[in-house]
């Protein structure tokens, strides 16, 4: 919550900029931030907010200036960008900043890059520009003369662009991309979106399921209903605990899809097939779906605990039972390739049609056609 002169509001990104007196060799009381500190912090925060991702976190970035003879606000932008990437915040791009200056004698104008303290105090302009490789994310100008020719402004912007790109190149030598994961000591929060119908299953009767997950994983879980979806927020200071809780929730809310391939374990072996457990669900792998060849004894092929890759081929609309197939993933020995060949174990019936043709009516071979048929054509 931000409480300022204009009112109260909430913000998920806060930048604190501290400029103690000793950073410029002065001795003063250490008090709260002044007008200068607040202005510089706002400029740096605006510049970095443009690349911040959508995140469940409230992020606080602190810039402590220990020595200054230049633009400490632009140093805050560059260091803040690198700090966010090092912390594992998935920013859209790195941001750099540079302070441009100008000195004019009334006739001639010189544009300066990365001005020092004396150039800022004695010069006629302080023009700060921040941005990424793609464009500008923030700017601020202090000018002491009456107006600035457009050509000079254009020159200052181009000179600033070249300076920003050079600084970005130097920053990339230290860190070029955001870290893949947060720091080990960082508080973690993961949000999962589930179907509204699964909210009750995750909570359980009287909160039994969600309390059990929290106790076993050491996490804090909150569920919020938003529209026709459920938002599950899981928080912990330990990544392993987060992963364990996410796995438990995913098992509860997992919905198998027909046509998808899963790896499961044999839970029980029956004469008519085996029951396979996968992702917290159980399905029947019927004996006819084990192989393209006939299986006489299921126990000769599978034992409890065996790992098996299966394809979900059907979900019973009335009972919700899952029908699995292993042979749909195996090459067909008849040369038809893999796939869900439901007639693979009936191949030996092909000869029956030939035997029936001549015996039924006493005629010739029906497949070849009789003499009368041929004459009519």
Tens-digit pLDDT profile for residues 71-98 = 999 999 999 999 999 999 999 999 999 9
- Residue 355, domain member (yes or no): no
CATH code for the domain of 49: 3.30.230.70
pLDDT at 31: 85
Same domain flag for 25 and 160: yes
Residues 149 and 282 occupy one common structural domain: no
Contacts of 171 (CB under 8 A, 6+ apart): 78, 81, 82, 94, 96
Q: What is the pLDDT of residue 45?
A: 95
- Distance between CA atoms of residues 89 and 183, nearest Å: 10
Please tell me the distance from the alpha carbon of residue 125 to that of residue 102, in angstroms, as a whole number: 5
Quickly tell me which residue has 């919700």 as its tokens.
Answer: 320
Do 7 and 114 sit in the same domain of this protein?
A: yes
Region for 279 from its dihedrals, namely left if φ exceeds 0, alpha if ψ lies in -120 to 50, beta otherwise: left
Q: Where is the domain boundary, 251, 286, 303?
A: 251
Based on the domain organization, do 320 and 298 belong to the same domain? yes
Question: Which pLDDT tens digit goes with each residue over 149-182?
Answer: 888 899 999 999 999 999 999 999 999 999 998 8
Candidates 252, 259, 274; CA nearest to 197 is 252
Is 87 in the same domain as 154?
A: yes
Q: Are residues 28 and 107 in the same domain?
A: yes
Mean pLDDT of 24-29: 89
Look at residue 326 and tell me if it is in a domain. Answer: yes
- Structural domain harbouring 18: 2-174
Count structural domains, the chain: 3
Tell whether the model's pLDDT for residue 305 goes beyond 80. yes
HEC string of the chain equals CEEECCEEECCCEEEEEECCHHHHCCCCCCCCCCHHHHHHHHHHHHHHHCCCCCCCCCEEEEEECCCCCCCHHHHHHHHHHHHHHHCCCCCCCCCEEEEEEEEECCCCEEEEECCCHHHHHHCCEEEEEEECCCCEEEEEEEECCCCCCHHHHHHHHHHHHHHHHHHHHHHHHHCCCCCCCCCCCCCEEEEEEEEHHHHHHHHCHHHHHHHHHHHHHCCEEEEEEECCEEEEEEEECCHHHHHHHHHHHHHHHCCCCCCCEEEEEEEEEECCEEEEEECCEEEEEEHHHCCCCCCCCHHHCCCCCCEEEEEEEEECCCCCCEEEECHHHCCECCCCECCCCCCHHHHHHCCHHHHHHHHCCCCCCCCCCCHHHHHHC
User: What pLDDT was estimated at residue 335?
Assistant: 63
Is residue 311 predicted with pLDDT exceeding 70? yes
Q: Are residues 108 and 137 in the same domain?
A: yes
179 within some domain: no
d(CA 37, CA 30): 13
Q: Does 62 map to a domain?
A: yes
135 and 21 belong to one structural domain: yes
Question: Higher confidence at residue 132 or residue 190?
Answer: 132
Give the confidence band of 333 by pLDDT, cuts at 50, 70, 90: confident
**Residue 338 confidence (pLDDT) above 60:** no
Virtual torsion, Cα 344, 348, 350, 352, nearest 10 deg = -140
Looking at per-residue pLDDT, the higher value among 35 and 131 belongs to 131
Query: Does residue 277 lie within any of the structural domains?
Result: yes
Query: At 336, is the pLDDT very low, low, confident or very high (cuts 50, 70, 90)?
Result: low
Measured CA to CA in angstroms, residue 356 lies from 95, 179, 343, 351 at distances of 82, 72, 21, 9
Q: Supply the pTM of this predicted model.
A: 0.62
Is residue 35 located within the same domain as residue 160?
Answer: yes
pLDDT given for residue 224 in this prediction: 92
22/153 same-domain check:
yes
Q: Are 341 and 330 in contact (CB under 8 A)?
A: no
* Pair 194, 311 in one domain: no
Give me the sign of the Cα torsion angle 280, 285, 289, 294. Answer: positive
Residue 228 domain-assigned (yes or no): yes
* Whether the predicted pLDDT of 297 surpasses 60: yes
Which of residues 121, 150, 174 is at a domain's end?
A: 174
The average pLDDT across 311-322 equals 87
Task: Choose the most confident range, by mean pLDDT, from 102-106, 162-166, 310-314.
Answer: 162-166
Residue 356: pLDDT band by 50, 70, 90 thresholds?
Answer: very low
| Residue 359, pLDDT above cutoff 80 | no
What CATH number has the domain bearing residue 278?
2.40.50.140
Each residue of 236-279: pLDDT tens digit?
Answer: 988 889 999 999 998 888 888 888 888 889 999 898 898 998 87
Cα 165 to Cα 185: distance, rounded to the nearest angstrom: 33
Would the pLDDT of 365 be above 70? no
What gap in Å lies between CA 272 and CA 284, rounded to an integer?
9
For residue 128, what are the β-bridge partners? 99, 140
118, 143, 174 - which closes a domain: 174
Structural domain includes residue 18? yes
Q: Which of 140-154, 246-260, 322-336 is predicted least confidently?
A: 322-336
- Angstrom CA distances, 54 to 13, 89, 90, stand at 11, 10, 9
- Looking at per-residue confidence, does 47 or 107 come out higher? 47
Residues 25 and 157 in one domain: yes
The answer to whether residue 237 sits within a structural domain is yes
Nearest-angstrom CA–CA distance, 126 and 291:
78
pLDDT band at 369 (very low <50, low <70, confident <90, very high): very low
Q: What is the CATH number of the domain that holds 207?
A: 3.30.1370.10
């Amino acid at each position: 919550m931000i409480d300022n002169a204009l009112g109260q509001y909430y913000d998920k990104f806060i930048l604190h900029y501290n400029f103690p007196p000793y950073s410029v060799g002065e001795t003063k009381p250490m008090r709260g931030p002044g007008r200068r500190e607040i202005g510089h912090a706002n400029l740096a925060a605006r510049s970095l907010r443009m690349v911040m991702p959508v995140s469940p976190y409230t992020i606080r970035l602190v810039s402590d200036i220990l020595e200054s003879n230049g633009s400490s606000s632009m140093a805050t932008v560059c260091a803040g960008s690198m700090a966010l990437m090092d912390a594992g915040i998935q920013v859209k791009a790195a941001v750099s900043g540079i302070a441009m200056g100008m000195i004019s004698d009334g006739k001639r104008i010189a544009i300066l890059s990365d001005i020092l303290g004396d150039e800022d105090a004695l010069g006629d302009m302080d023009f700060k520009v921040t941005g990424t490789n793609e464009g500008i994310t923030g700017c601020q100008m202090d000018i002491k003369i009456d107006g600035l020719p457009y050509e000079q402004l254009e020159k200052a912007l181009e000179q600033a662009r070249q300076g920003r790109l050079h600084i970005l190149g130097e920053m990339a030598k230290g860190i070029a991309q955001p870290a893949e994961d947060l720091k080990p000591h960082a508080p973690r929060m993961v949000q999962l979106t589930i179907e509204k119908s699964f909210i009750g299953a995750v909570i359980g009767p009287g909160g039994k399921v969600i309390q059990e997950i929290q106790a076993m994983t050491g996490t804090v879980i909150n569920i919020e209903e938003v529209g026709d979806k459920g938002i599950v927020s899981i928080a912990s200071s330990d990544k392993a605990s987060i992963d364990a809780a996410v796995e438990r929730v995913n098992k509860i809310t997992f919905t198998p899809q027909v046509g998808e391939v899963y790896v499961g374990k044999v839970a029980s072996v029956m004469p008519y097939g085996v029951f396979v457990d996968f992702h917290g669900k159980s399905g029947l792998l019927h004996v006819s779906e084990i192989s393209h060849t006939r299986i006489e004894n299921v126990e000769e092929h599978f034992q409890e605990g065996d790992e098996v890759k299966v394809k979900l081929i059907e979900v019973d609309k009335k009972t919700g039972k899952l029908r699995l197939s292993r042979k749909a993933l195996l090459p067909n020995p008849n040369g038809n390739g893999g796939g869900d060949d439901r007639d693979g174990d009936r191949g030996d019936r092909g000869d029956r049609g030939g035997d029936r043709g001549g015996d039924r009516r006493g005629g010739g071979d029906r497949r070849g056609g009789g003499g009368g048929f041929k004459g009519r054509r």
